[in-house]
Amino acid sequence: MTKEKLAILGGPKTIPSEFKRYNSIGIEEVMAATKVIESGVLSKFLGAWHEDFYGGPKVREFEAMAAKYFGVKHAITVNSWTSGLIAAVGAIGVEPGDELIVTPWTMCASATSIIHWNAIPVFADIDPDTFTISPESIEKNITERTKAIIVVDIFGQSADIQAISSIAKKHNLKIIGDTAQAPGTYSGKNITGTLVDIGGYSLNYHKHIHTGEGGILITNDDNLAERLQLIRNHGEAVVGQKGVSDIANIIGYNFRLGEIECAIGLEQLKKLDSLIQIRQSISEELTQRLMGLMGLRLPYISPGNTHAYYIYGMIIDTELLGVSRKRIKEALTAEGVPGLMEGYVNLHLLPMFQKKIAYGTKGFPWVNGFARESVSYEKGICPVAEDLHDRSFMGFLISTYDLTNKDVDLIGQAFKKVWQNMDFLK
């Protein structure tokens, strides 16, 4: 068979036009938002002890629906998942200098929410197959100062929550779940993100379902739910009249989600299962198209897990292929494959952690009389995450696009064309 010339070398592109962007918003959301606008009640929160301390009718309706969907006692909406993480870390009662273990492969808010409370992030390495936080690395990083573990269900599937729960129980640690990228998926019979002390999901615009910005906190603990609600809505102005005695970390914020967003969220949550099923079907079709390409490892799903495919994560064996990841990505991009990522992120290597500069210029909160100043963020503390980022991981932002089977077929053709012409890339 004659090899077609690669686009990067002057040949024709495999994918001639851009793919349709993903959009989960439909007429139902338009109608729901319009009805709220016409009512004139865009928010009903009051930062005082009053029946409206908990928000308006759409806030409460959305929270009730979310609690039922996720099978938990409490769902608390917030204006962003970053706000949700900040509220969760504060709610578990962290003290300055406490340590929380977190993965380096996540959005930065998973770690900065810890610093927000003058606590210290400690980074554990990741599993080389699932890219989620490694239970073995968690255990190695526990000290007498460790307060909690933040478990991030990265790319669309659950971390090994059973193993992590055993570790947490052994060391009397809290677990916060960051399931921003994996709503509506399962770990065994349990919805991902529900087997933790406080969990939650993002409603940011590029997630599976969205309200523009927003988040949902979940918990089965009545006390934690109350603390989350207080942190969300100016709790310092409420604790007196409400009769709350534990006022640690109850500092006033406006983390409230509005009525319009919650009206949209109600309609979005109704669609979640079907949207996830569509994404799974398309991703499985892509796996079939790419299967068998030498030196390309496709997404691994742990036994018992389902996957939402926020990112379609691959590993390239550059030594076997004799071509760098950068060159392969350039060739695929030239063929018209969009949304490819070289590596992901290693939070511990960001300037904030390398220089230990957050609040002011003197090293606070690492230098505060409470913290263990020997916490290291040197390159080498997370060798699996670092090697994958530097050398072999390539992600496809599959959640960005509303792909058809024809689109998937074109992506498969582009990959096969590049692989057939790999010698020309050396």
> Over the stretch 271-314, which tens digit does the pLDDT of each residue have?
999 999 999 999 999 999 999 999 999 999 999 999 999 999 99
Closest to 58 in 3D by CA, of 321, 316, 259: 259
CA atoms within 13 A on the CB side of 272: 24
- Inform me whether the pLDDT recorded for 2 exceeds 60: no
Scan for tokens 């498969």, then name that residue. 412
* Residue 390 DSSP one-character state: I
Residue entry with tokens 């603990």: 221
Task: Check residue 3 and give its pLDDT.
Answer: 75
Per cent of the chain over pLDDT 70 is: 100
Give the C-alpha distances (Å, rounded to integers) separating 417 from 287, 316, 388, 412: 16, 16, 25, 9
Is the backbone of residue 131 left (phi > 0), alpha (psi -120 to 50) or beta?
A: left
Mean pLDDT of the chain: 97
Residue 139 predicted with pLDDT over 70:
yes
Q: Does residue 168 surpass a pLDDT of 60?
A: yes
Angle between helices 27-39 and 259-290 (to 10 degrees): 170
Distance (Å, whole) CA 277 – CA 282: 9
Mean pLDDT of 184-198: 98
Q: What is the per-residue pLDDT for 373?
A: 80
Instruction: Indicate if the pLDDT at residue 174 is higher than 90.
Output: yes
| pLDDT tens figures, 226-279 | 999 999 999 999 999 999 999 999 998 999 999 999 999 999 999 999 999 999
What is the amino acid identity at position 42?
Answer: L
Of 256, 302, 307, the closest CA to residue 77 belongs to 256
pTM of the model: 0.97
Three-state secondary-structure class, residue 268: helix
For residue 127, give the DSSP letter. Answer: -
- Alpha-carbon distance of 63 to 74, in angstroms, equals 8
**Could you tell me what percent of the chain has a pLDDT over 90?**
97
pLDDT tens-place string over residues 358-403? 999 999 999 988 888 889 999 999 999 999 999 999 999 999 999 9
The confidence score (pLDDT) of residue 126 equals: 98
Q: 39-97, pLDDT tens digit by residue?
A: 999 999 999 999 999 999 999 999 999 999 999 999 999 999 999 999 999 999 999 99
CA 81 to CA 77: how far, in whole Å?
A: 9
Please give the Cα distance from 316 to 349 (Å, whole number): 23
Q: Where are the domains of the chain?
A: 27-269
In one-letter notation, the amino acid at residue 106 is T
Q: Which band of pLDDT confidence, cut at 50, 70 and 90, is reported for residue 1? A: very low
Whether the pLDDT of residue 178 is over 70: the answer is yes
pLDDT digits (tens, 9 = 90+) for 142-153: 999 999 999 999
Separation between Cα atoms, residue 249 and residue 19, nearest integer Å: 46
**Of 28, 8, 15, residue with least CA distance to 403:** 15
Residue ranges of E strands in 49-164 = 74-78, 99-102, 120-123, 146-152
List C-alpha distances in Å: 230 to 49, 54, 199, 250, 388: 10, 9, 17, 6, 40
SS3 349: helix
Helices 259-290 and 57-70: crossing angle in degrees, nearest 10, is: 30
**27-269 fold:** Aspartate Aminotransferase; domain 2 (3.40.640)
Backbone angles phi, psi at 190, to 5 degrees: -105, 140
